[in-house]
Structures are given as structure tokens and as C-alpha cells.
Structure 1
Amino acid sequence: MSDTQLRFVLRPAVYTDLPAVERIAGASPVGVISLPRSREKLFDKIAASQAALSSEVSGCGEESYFFVLERSSDREVVGTCAIVASAGFDEPVYHFRNDTLIHACRELNIHHRVHVLSLCHDLTGSTLLTSFVLDPQYRFGSTAELLSRARMLFIAAHRQRFSDHVVSAMLGPCDDEGHAPLWDALGRHFFGIDYPLAEFYCGVKGRSFIAELMPQHPIYVPLLPPEAQDAIGQIHPFSRLPCEILMREGFDTERYVDIFDGGAVVQARTEEIRTVAQHKQATVRVHPLGSAAAEYLIANLELSGFRACIARAAFDALKGEVWLAEEDCVRLGVVPGASVVLAPL
């Protein structure tokens, strides 16, 4: 059965999801540090999310929100995603910034532009989208849109909790054995450890050691081996789907890359993200749907009870009403007269 025939609900992760989340983390590639292969850290991730969802928040702070995608038929968890309200709240978030240095000599009539990578923490304080992992059998269809874009509806519904700027780091080129061209050419010389171990330290111990060991001066890209140069700004096959979804949402990839594997870092102004900009709030009405219905991404306005799904609905923009089937109201945990947010699928 294809995912177009199945129904899914995105909801906050709870403690009983830990075994499923652990299974998903274990199947993800090396380098996905936002879903570490550590039962203790995954438990802490769920705990931090539960605490954030139960807190009264009036601004963008240290909160993180962790979600799972549940198949409605048997409640099996098939994917995860997360939002960090303010990246680097406790410690800076480091990236390489793509810069250009000008080398010029008037006497020799030379004017040369050189690509350099500059260590920075420009994106500290941005809202961070992380932990997008989806069962491979559902990566070709609208289920991936739900897993990624439901986070934008959560941000839109609780706008005060998030930054004016949103970023997401894509996994860069690396092989199954954990060899990353950029790391092998650069990071290994300063850290003295393999790429998988460096990513593990980031996921479990944090990133404070980066500033202590990484070179503070610009890295001249032409001095790197060709394969390392080619890796800069590229995306691992695992991250192509989430990156494509975010690019359709209006994110761009021009400025920053990951300091370990060189993967692209995508960014956007929050209000310019397609789902945030186009979302509408509407009052729920229950009725059997006719031919006028279309598919929408819909979510309730709850925190710990947040639910999002893809459903056929009839939206009346003039009245601010959305007509849903009763079974979809059940999936969303709403009753007639409740408010929801929705965006075109």
C-alpha cells in the first residue's frame, strides 16, 4: 500500500516512543548528529521537548521540540523531525562561511579573487530545523511533505516561540565507512580523529571543542585537494529530499556550509517561508466532503496536544471556515468550532 493510501499524523514525541526513535536513529547515516545513537541522549531529547511543550514561553529561548510521524492504522512511528527554537543558546553554533578574498598587485596588473572558508557563528540564535529522518518506503510522496512542513505550521501557530530566521544543515558527502572528503583534507589535521567520532562528540558532548581546535584564520579553498573542494556545499543523498522540500519553501543555500563534511546549510527569513506566509487560520466545520475538497496540510493550535496531518478539506476563505470529515477531526484532536491552521499541499 502506498503512502498516498495510508494516513499519518505528526505529533510530539513521548517517552513510550523511545524504542522506535532508537531504531530510527540506528538506521540513519553517520553524521546525523541531531539524532544520536545514544539511548540516554534520545531520552533527554524527548524530555527536553516535553518540558518545552509544557512551559509558558513568550520569546525565542532554549526550547526544543521533537516530533514523530505515526501511521494511523497501527500507530507505528515511521519518522522523526525537530525544531530548536534558538540554536546555540548554551554555546555558539559554528559553520564555515563562504567568503572571497581579493589578492591584487597593481605593478603586476594582477587582481585575483580567492574562495575561502571562514569559521563563524553567524547563525547562532536562529531557529534550527533538525532530525528529519523518514522510513525509506515513505520518502516518495506527500508523507515527506507532512514530516517537514508540519514544523512550519507549528512555528506559524506559535510564532512568539521562534526566531525571525530559520536554518537547517544538510548532511554533506561521506561514504558508508565514514570517510568525508572535506574532513579528511581539513578537520582531521586539527582534531586527529575520524569523521564519525567527531560527529559523535558533537551529538553527545556538544560543539564547544570546535572553537578550541579549529583554525581561526580563513581556509584557502584552492589549497585543498580537488575532492574536498568538490564536497563544499554538496548534499548527501540522504538529505536530498528534505533539502528539496525546504528549497520549495523558499530556503537558499548560498552562504554557509557545515564545518565537518561541507554540507550545505539552508536558510530563510521566517515570514518568507512558503508555509508560514500562506497559512490560514480557520474554524472547523464537520461535513461529508464533496468534489470541491482539496488536500491541505492541517494542524491544531495545541502544544503538547499538537497534531498535524494531510486531509481533504473544503476551505472557505471569506467565512474563515474549513470543512473536514469527522475522521480527520479525530486525527487532529479537534471538535466543531475549534481553530486550526492550514496551508495548501
Structure 2
Amino acid sequence: MTHTAILGTGSYLPERIVTNDEVAAAAGVDDAWIFGKTAIRERRWAAPGQATSDLAAAAATAALESAGITADRLSVIVVATSTPDRPQPPTSAYVQHLIGAVNAAAFDVNAVCTGSVFALAAAEGILARQGGHALVIGADVYSRILNPVDHKTVILFGDGAGAMVLGPGQGARVRQVALHTFGDHSQLIEVPAGGSRLPLDQESLAAGRQFFTMDGRGVRRFVTDHLPHLVKQFLHEAGVVPDDIGHFVPHQANGVMLDTVFEELALPRATMHLTLTHYANTGAASVPVTLDAAARAGAFRPGDLILLAGFGGGMAAGLALVEW
């Protein structure tokens, strides 16, 4: 039986480094407060002329190079983003054109910060039916939707893109994926205006409803209440025990919160991989960006089991078990 494998990974972070001091002043906090609450020191923000598709295409190019295949061999591209270039067309269409993937169908998914795991599941399902190669990308430019005076959000987010090439062959086998949505908590994370519920008009703009909003305490409560149980259930269904997990690659939401969650997960042999100190929370990009950073640092050995965990707006959670 042929299994879908991750054949290569790639990432792209914008050149501009934005320190805590830069975001702290308008938000009424300081570097020490931000680091103490989040373990974040800095983040990257896109240049004025860069859109989500530009970051995604750069990450895709790096992943294709890592996998050793050309873009014309791709049969599908799935871009996970909640900050698309435009409401229409899908950001993936721009990416397809930018990288020259002329034979690939392309579509977007929006599961906010969990998006890359949802995209991984979608691409894996398509390949199981039709074969070929897929490109999975998580990419977000959150700097464009942050309220600079909101200390609950502007301190947390950065811009970036991470990518994975999937296909048959020797690579990291995707053993199992599980997806969850808890729509009764959808109010915890949202951008209120800009859709059919509340169009983006002058009144909405004046009220600041175009900005990303988050109930930080509610999100923390959701993650600590749900993620440990979901992980234990997932590992049981996958036929592995916590001792088997060698690496934990979570969504890079908040370093202080992740330390608490990791302890509750009770994965005694696992190393938790973090990139948030320098990149902050890059939304749907954070899981593939962190996976790529660990892979390029030589952290994984053949046979290692890696647990990918996304969680975020929706509220949603996505888990994937990868055998390196």
C-alpha cells in the first residue's frame, strides 16, 4: 500500500524584524511585559508591497527544492490562510501562477490558525484518490488586520509562510490526521466586518471592526480544556502511546501557554519545537514554519514520531501524526 509522504518542507519569513519595543508603545505595554506574557521577543512583518500569495510562493519554492520536484508535477495546491490577498479569487490561484504549477488545481481553506493541518488532511485525501503530488501551504499576513493599540493581539502576531510537498516515495509518512471544530466557541476569535454578515462600510471602519479580535482568556481556557483530551484520544486511535512521541510541533500561539499545555499532555520523551520567540504567531503558517525549521536543523531521525497540533479560530483543532 502506498502512503502519502511529506517529501520536502520550506518556509519564508519577511525581512523586516519588528521588536517588542516597536509594537509596545502604541499598545501601552513594554518589552518585559510582552515577553513575560508570551515568550515572544520579535516578529516579522511583510513589506508594503508583499501580499499573502508572495510569502506563500516563496515558501512553496523552498519546499519544492527540498523535495526535488518541479512545480509542473503538482496536481493540487491547497493554501491555508485567513488573510487572503482578496476575498476573491482564492490566494492559491495567485500562488499557482507565481510558481508555474500549470497542471495543478488550486483552492484555499480557512480554519484560521489550524488551517495548515486541515489543508494537509484535504491534500492527503485527494492524493489517496487520484495520486500525484500536492503542495500544502500555510500563509498569513496578520500585520494588515491588527489594531496597533490592542495589546491583546498586536503583540502576538507576525507574518510568514510554511509549505510541505506531499506525494508517493521516501519521506515522512503521514500516518493519521484528525480534525475538530467547536462552532459554539466561534466568538472567541473573529474579524467582525468584511463579510456578508457585516459588510465593510464607513460605519464599520469608523468602529474598527475590520481588525482581528480575540478573547485571550477564553482562547487559553479552550486550549487547556480541550487539547490534552483530544491528543490523548488521537494517540489512542492511532495505536501509539505518549512514550512513542519524539517531537511535538504545535501552533505557535503563546510560549507561556504552550509550556502549560505541553506539561499537561504528558509526552515524556518528546521535544517541543518553538519558533515563536523570533517569529511570533504566524497563524496558519506556524506549524509548517516550525516543522521546516526543525527539519533543516536536523532535529528528526528516521522513525521518529512527530505530533503536529494546530488550534485556533472556529474554534478548531487539527492533529497529525507523522513518521519521519
TM-score (norm: length of structure 2): 0.27
The structure whose RCO (Cα within 8 Å, separation 6+) is larger is: 2
TM-score (norm: length of structure 1): 0.26
Which structure's residues are more often helix, by fraction?
2
